[in-house]
Amino acid sequence: MSVDAATVRRIAHLARIAVADDEVEHLQGELNAILAWVEQLQAVDVTGVEPMTSVTPMKMKMRQDEVNDGGKPADIVKNAPLSDDNFFLVPKVVE
pLDDT tens profile 26-63: 999 999 999 999 999 999 999 998 888 788 877 878 88
Domain that holds residue 19: 5-42
Count of domains forming the chain: 1
Specify if 84 maps to a domain: no
Specify if 52 maps to a domain: no
Specify if 35 maps to a domain: yes
Specify if 93 maps to a domain: no
What lies within 8 Å, CB to CB, of 73 at 6+ separation is: 86
With contact defined as beta carbons under 8 Å apart, do 23 and 47 qualify? no
- Give the separation between CA 93 and CA 95, rounded to whole angstroms: 7
Model confidence at 67: pLDDT above 80 = yes
What average pLDDT does this structure show over 17-22?
Answer: 94
With contact defined as beta carbons under 8 Å apart, do 30 and 2 qualify? no
Specify if 36 maps to a domain: yes
Model confidence at 1: pLDDT above 90 = no
Average pLDDT, the chain: 90
Specify if 57 maps to a domain: no
